[in-house]
Structure 1
Amino acid sequence: MKIKGAGKWILLGLVTAAFVIVYNAIAIYRFSQQDQTRKADCAIVAGAGITEKSPSPVFTARLDHAMWLYQEGKVNSLILTGGRSNGASESDAAIARHYLLNRGVPEAVIFIDEQSTVTRENIHNAKIIMARQHMQTALLVSDPLHMLRMRLIAYDNDMVSWSSPTTTSRYRSWQTQLPFLLREAFYYTGYRILRYLPAIPPENNAQ
């Protein structure tokens, strides 16, 4: 049975979209294997939610990596990002700051963005903090499969940055990696399409 008219174009569109997403998924996976860690002014930690009054396991792994970067002298400051999750009394970034303070990281080196809820806002607000604090370079901290999209967004924000993925990601098995990879491929593809559209509100409470 032949496919005619609009059906042919719909099928072609679906096949093309599937090809693009698979192509991007491969690019995301390949980039996830890179570690560009080097000396920089700060580390920007992508938020990942909380559980009650503690960072989520995924967020904790990212914070531990950022703390290691500071302790090893790779960065002088830490920028923690993340707004409030589901009506929580404190922002993800504030709870992350408590986590690091309790582990001996000096308060003076921690800066927080309490407004961002998505990666694009994480980077935008972190860039504002960097400008206020006269920081020029940053290491981006997140899970390996998140790094390509985060790196592209940083590039679009004229940020001099490098990928420094956590080495203790909670997404280790293929059962957890595959859903994350497919989700990232979808988001990355969408961002590549919509990247030039303004999506950041002018007001923020980055500190």
Structure 2
Amino acid sequence: MFFGLRWVIRIALGLLAVVVLYIGISFAQVWWASRQDNTAPASAIVVMGAAQWNGLPSPVLKGRLDHAADLYQKGVAPVVIVAGGKQVGDKVTQGLVSFEYLRSKGIPESVLKIEGAGTNSYEELSSTAFIMRQAGLAQNVVIVTDPYHAYRVADIADEVGLSAHVSPTSGSTTLSDYVRETGAVAIGRIIGYRRLAAWR
């Protein structure tokens, strides 16, 4: 019986070591991706949604939009897709607020497309892929988001059929951001990001 218990303990410790290693690798990948800017010519620049306050972009969303405007002006892509639906209590979508902000920055209305249905990263990118197919655009994009979010959005983009490069903003990232993203990536890669989005 004692011999059998030792094997149970060894197996349990082995499984724990595998889990710790997997989480550690996921953390390292999230951290590394946050420091890479893989901007490349694309069919569209996609701005991930973030909070808006009574029709005005929050500092996080403004940072993403300013970065996207800079990429557009540099000729990275001919189209800018602004993503984000309504969160609880919102009167307008994040996508519409982003559209109005970029238009006020001098980005032509004709190059802007709104993804206004998504309430999480998976929904935003899945809907964006559909919008691009409907518009006859090749499925290659540059995604603009905060640094800590870079690895997960690239993973999600691949899952929904987009070929993505990520260009993170210069926004600050806290340890809690990295920890949260590590958890999302570690689980999402096992069960799929679509299922993870449905759980959250």
- Could you say whether these structures have the same fold, taking a TM-score greater than 0.5 normalized by the shorter chain as the test? yes
**Kept after mapping to 1: 8 A contact 2:33/2:151:** yes
Uncovered stretches (5+) of structure 2, i.e. residues with no partner: none
Which blocks of at least 5 consecutive residues in structure 1 are unaligned? 202-207
Matched with 1:60 is 62
Deviation at 1:158, TM superposition (A): 2.1
Matches of 1:32 and 1:103 in 2, distance apart?
27
SS in 2 for 1:164: strand
Matching residue of 2:81: 79
Contact 2:26–2:186 (CA under 8 A) maintained in structure 1 = yes
Does the aligned pair in 2 maintain the 1:50–1:85 contact within 8 Å?
no
Equivalent position of 2:94 in the other structure:
92
Please state how far the C-alpha of 1:19 moved relative to its aligned partner: 3.4
Which residue identity lines up with residue 144 of structure 1 in the other structure? P
Q: Following superposition of structure 1 onto structure 2, how do residues 16-165 of structure 1 map, counting pairs within 5 Å?
A: 16-136=18-138, 137-165=140-168
More helix by share: 2
Asked if structure 2 preserves the Cα contact closer than 8 Å seen for 1:33 and 1:144, the reply is yes
Q: Percent identity between the aligned chains?
A: 29
3-state DSSP of counterpart to 2:168? coil
- Distance in 2, Cα, partners of 1:179 & 1:115: 27
Residue identity in the other structure for 2:152: R
Instruction: Work out whether residues 45 and 80 of structure 1, in 8 Å CA contact, stay in contact via their aligned partners in 2.
Output: yes
Instruction: Please give the TM-score of this superposition, normalised by the length of structure 2.
Output: 0.86
Query: What count of residue pairs does the alignment treat as equivalent?
Result: 192
Partners of 2:36 and 2:167 lie apart in 1 by: 8
Q: Considering only CA atoms, is the larger Rg found in Structure 1 or Structure 2? A: 2
* Alignment CA distance shift 1:197-1:126 (3 Å): closer
CA RMSD of aligned residues (A): 2.4
